[in-house]
Structure 1
Amino acid sequence: MSNIVVFGSQWGDEGKGKIVDMLAEKAAAIVRFQGGNNAGHTLVVGGDKCILHLIPSGILHPGKVCLIGNGVVLDPEVFCREIDTLAAKGVDVTPRRLMISKKTHVIMPYHRRMDGCREAARDAAGKIGTTGRGIGPCYEDKVARVGVRAADLADFKLLQEKIARALEEKNVLFRHLFRCEPMDPAAVFEEIKPFAERIRAYLGDVSTAIQKVKKSGGMVLFEGAQGTHLDIDHGTYPYVTSSSTVTGNAASGSGCSPRELTRIIAIVKAYTTRVGGGPFPSELSDEVGDYLQSQGGEFGATTGRKRRCGWLDAVVLRESVRLNGPTELAITKLDVLSGLSELKICTRYRYGGEEVLYPPQEQNALAHVEPIYETLPGWNEDITKARGYDDLPENARAYLNRVEQLLGVPVGLVSVGPERGQTF
């Protein structure tokens, strides 16, 4: 059975959680391979909204194994809060079906403090738009080889030593650069200790778990967070996240061979949104942008921040196709476009006196491009009850067909509402 990777093709918030939730029915295991609780996947099941930040979306399907890979950075308090919330809803979140890689790096209280101090110290023009969850500082410690890994939560002596070592440097910054109180290593240990004691039971070898599923003939579903254009290497740097969000990291971030990644689904919102700072060529600051924001309920699942909205941008999507090699597209929130008399798609940019099909790679170059649009007719029909391609109005079908033509990738899935049954 083909394993599946689901990735976001824009700046996140494309609706990955819903698609993963649907595909999880046929999967034996669902793996989260990067990011942290700066991501939020919103699922609506039977009218009940559930937002997950760390635990894979497949947890809502009884019997599925959910794995948190080594490429994730995990906040122990957030993880414990999520399992408590899910357990209160009657969801089985016992260690027999939920595992954290022992190699996963842990977000510590000093990472959150550092994140907040840095963002506060930047002037308005320099703010990155970080969620302040400590994601970036945790990845920094990972690369600097001084990070706390999940396995360390089961070794209190080693954990105390690592906390003390980390704060030797960080307290200098807190005290002398950010002018705030230093952190006491003993107090940090006591803060993390009760969560460490709970998490120990969830630690395991995710690579072996994936291998077992493969040998048994089951399908593994790899779930990414954020979107391609927030990738640390390929995104709109420096307005990016701190991890690699592209498909290639699904193997590295979970501990398996790239050969296991056989079906790759690009999640494409039918228009474009972005949260936080950074250039956004097709952004709409008019009544159409307000309409998309209102109709789409565009507020960040993690931060609650209002999302910026704009027309579909085929240039950023073309780059996503080049970087990730999707076998199909999943178009989400197509229903939000209903009621607009005409629709626009940005097909290329004008940059430096030339027309370009891919984003220029100089820093902040997207702030200096001119989007070139083509216009398609819209539709007024309510499409939320559509259960197949033929149920869509002619202009909606034409819109999907044009997206296929521009990207050279077939549309395999379409979502016309938040419920499970509104995807075909």
Structure 2
Amino acid sequence: MDIVLGLQWGDEGKGKFIDLISEDYDITARFNGGANAGHSIERNGKRITLKSLPSGIFMKDVQNVIGTGTVLDPVSFRNEILNLQKFDGSLEPEKNLVISQKAHLVLPTHRLLDVFMEENPDYTTIGTTKNGIAQAYSNKILRQNLRVGDIESPDFKNRVIHILERGYRFLAGGDRVLPSLEEISSEFFEAIDFLKTFKRTETEIFLNKALSEGKKVLAEGSQAAMLDIDHGTYPYVTSSSTTAAGASSGLGISPKKVGEIFGIAKAYCTRVGNGIFPTELFDQAGEEIRDKGHEFGSNTGRPRRIGWLDLPALRYAIMINGVTQVILTKADILSGMKSVAVCTHYELEDGTLEMTAGTLPENARPVLKTLEGWEGDISTLKNAFELPEKLKDFLFFLNNELGVPVTYLSTGPGRQQILKLNS
């Protein structure tokens, strides 16, 4: 099993890379998260954003798995499938998609509770996508939730209604305007009937059997390492394990069976929502990068925060994931800038230096190294030898600083705009 995951705060371009290499695999499998993901895929000049679906869904000879470590919103899932088929009528996802019976369900009141907690001053405002992901995971840990396999239970409907009524009683206080319980229940059960048309199984057995038969599995992570519930910039993180270790637990595959670990990183940093962001830019350079890079959430449309590349955070993410190859994206967005900056380390309040960022105090000062920028449009290049010399210098610098080779360079948003490097 090989793994693809983000090394920053998400939105690094994982979907594009997975789409590029997934034809070399027999199975692609999502191991964490839910409809809070936003993996953008290009087909025939058009783009679509996948949320719960694995990015290999366009490959008809590739089996796709929604694994046990994910949470599945049936309503969002139905809408995503219908949107996918509208985007490409030739696709038959019911034939190449398998869903874990042990994946947990996102219920309608989970979304409502997510909105309530984000807007209530009694709780920490995280800046979530308000898709009910945290509520589903928290109820999973509390052992109060339902799983995909429960939809075949004769008392499933009663159990759902009980949970919805409980959530509704909590939310009904004050002057909040809520959709009717009947409305959200009806929509949910219609989506459950739709979900029943897809294959559901014990995917850990399915995947391990495939591996024993010599088939190749690609594990797809959503969000990114610095948003990991344990190792990210807590509390401003996601609610699942986004690391390579999370792939093993989320899919039920032994770490002994892991091969390559591809880490995706931008040539600069972005972040959505609240939380520490030491290299954040508040000047014209940040605005220029945001506009040129179209840095708005693929799932929410929210403008992303922009910052220079953060090497201490990147080294940390590489370390905890055991990354074997780095894929660099968005270098084309920095083309034309006279100079680009990179944070090489942090200076702490007591004067000490921190080279690898795990937990950082808010007042850590990024120490920036300025490098010469590069000119020219790299989006049409077909060979790495044709890259501008200053960009080659930038890549050489990163290889030395990270200790892990940068093996691919994305040169534009298109599916084929990516170069394999001789690292």
- Tell whether the structures are fold-level matches, with TM greater than 0.5: yes
Which of 233, 245, 249 is matched with 1:236 structurally? 233
Q: How many angstroms apart in 1 are the aligned matches of 2:74 and 2:163? A: 20
2:324 is matched with which residue? Answer: 327
Q: How many angstroms apart in 1 are the aligned matches of 2:143 and 2:170? A: 19
Q: How many angstroms apart in 2 are the aligned matches of 1:268 and 1:133? A: 25
Q: State the Cα distance separating 1:85 from its structure 2 match.
A: 1.6
1:400 is matched with which residue? Answer: 395
2:25 is matched with which residue? Answer: 27
Q: State the Cα distance separating 1:94 from its structure 2 match.
A: 3.7
Q: How many angstroms apart in 2 are the aligned matches of 1:304 and 1:188? A: 25
| More helix by percentage | 1
Q: Is the 8 A contact 1:59 1:93 kept in 2?
A: no
User: SS of 2:244's equivalent?
Assistant: coil
User: SS of 2:116's equivalent?
Assistant: helix
1:275 is matched with which residue? Answer: 272
TM-score (norm 1): 0.94
Q: Is the 8 A contact 1:315 1:357 kept in 2?
A: yes
Counterpart residue type for residue 133 of structure 1: N
What is the CA deviation profile of residues 260-298 of structure 1, one whole-angstrom value per residue up to 9, with x for unaligned ones? Answer: 211001101111001111111111111111111111111
Q: State the Cα distance separating 1:6 from its structure 2 match.
A: 0.4
| Bigger shift: residues 298-307 or 37-46 | 37-46
Q: How many angstroms apart in 2 are the aligned matches of 1:183 and 1:194? A: 17
What is the CA deviation profile of residues 124-149 of structure 1, one whole-angstrom value per residue up to 9, with x for unaligned ones? Answer: x9421011100000001100001110
Q: How many angstroms apart in 2 are the aligned matches of 1:187 and 1:207? A: 35
Q: How many angstroms apart in 2 are the aligned matches of 1:252 and 1:393? A: 42
Counterpart residue type for residue 25 of structure 2: A
Q: Is the 8 A contact 1:163 1:185 kept in 2?
A: no
1:195 is matched with which residue? Answer: 191
2:110 is matched with which residue? Answer: 111
Say whether 1:157 aligns with 2:152.
no
Q: Which runs of 5+ in 2 are unaligned?
A: none
User: SS of 2:314's equivalent?
Assistant: helix
1:390 is matched with which residue? Answer: 385
User: SS of 1:284's equivalent?
Assistant: coil
1:237/1:293 CA distance change after superposition, 3 Å: same
Q: State the Cα distance separating 1:375 from its structure 2 match.
A: 1.2
Q: How many angstroms apart in 1 are the aligned matches of 2:386 and 2:154? A: 59
Q: How many angstroms apart in 1 are the aligned matches of 2:61 and 2:89? A: 13
Q: How many angstroms apart in 1 are the aligned matches of 2:10 and 2:148? A: 26
Q: Is the 8 A contact 2:5 2:221 kept in 1?
A: yes
Say whether 1:121 aligns with 2:116.
no
2:250 is matched with which residue? Answer: 253
Q: How many angstroms apart in 2 are the aligned matches of 1:225 and 1:79? A: 16
User: SS of 1:420's equivalent?
Assistant: coil
Q: State the Cα distance separating 1:162 from its structure 2 match.
A: 4.4
Q: Is the 8 A contact 1:46 1:419 kept in 2?
A: no
Q: How many angstroms apart in 2 are the aligned matches of 1:163 and 1:318? A: 47
Q: Is the 8 A contact 2:313 2:358 kept in 1?
A: no
Q: How many angstroms apart in 1 are the aligned matches of 2:44 and 2:384? A: 24
Q: How many angstroms apart in 1 are the aligned matches of 2:100 and 2:358? A: 37
Identity of aligned residues (%): 38
Q: How many angstroms apart in 1 are the aligned matches of 2:184 and 2:374? A: 56
What is the CA deviation profile of residues 89-112 of structure 1, one whole-angstrom value per residue up to 9, with x for unaligned ones? Answer: 124234331011000101100100
| Bigger shift: residues 335-344 or 42-51 | 42-51
TM-score (norm 2): 0.94
> Pairwise CA RMSD of aligned residues?
1.9
Q: State the Cα distance separating 1:211 from its structure 2 match.
A: 2.3
Q: How many angstroms apart in 1 are the aligned matches of 2:93 and 2:297? A: 29
Q: How many angstroms apart in 1 are the aligned matches of 2:51 and 2:90? A: 16
Q: How many angstroms apart in 2 are the aligned matches of 1:93 and 1:33? A: 22
Counterpart residue type for residue 236 of structure 1: T
Q: How many angstroms apart in 2 are the aligned matches of 1:107 and 1:165? A: 11
2:363 is matched with which residue? Answer: 368
Q: How many angstroms apart in 2 are the aligned matches of 1:166 and 1:197? A: 18
Q: Is the 8 A contact 1:8 1:266 kept in 2?
A: yes
1:18/1:360 CA distance change after superposition, 3 Å: closer
User: SS of 1:62's equivalent?
Assistant: coil
Q: How many angstroms apart in 2 are the aligned matches of 1:378 and 1:34? A: 37
Say whether 1:206 aligns with 2:216.
no
Q: State the Cα distance separating 1:334 from its structure 2 match.
A: 1.2
User: SS of 1:349's equivalent?
Assistant: strand
Q: Is the 8 A contact 1:163 1:188 kept in 2?
A: no
Q: State the Cα distance separating 1:361 from its structure 2 match.
A: 2.2
Counterpart residue type for residue 414 of structure 1: L
Q: How many angstroms apart in 2 are the aligned matches of 1:241 and 1:156? A: 33
1:12 is matched with which residue? Answer: 10
Equivalent pairs counted in the alignment come to: 416
Q: Is the 8 A contact 2:375 2:388 kept in 1?
A: no
Equivalence map 1:408-419=2 (5 Å): 408-419=403-414
Q: How many angstroms apart in 1 are the aligned matches of 2:94 and 2:324? A: 33
User: SS of 2:99's equivalent?
Assistant: strand
Q: State the Cα distance separating 1:230 from its structure 2 match.
A: 0.7
Q: Which runs of 5+ in 1 are unaligned?
A: none
| Bigger shift: residues 386-395 or 241-250 | 386-395
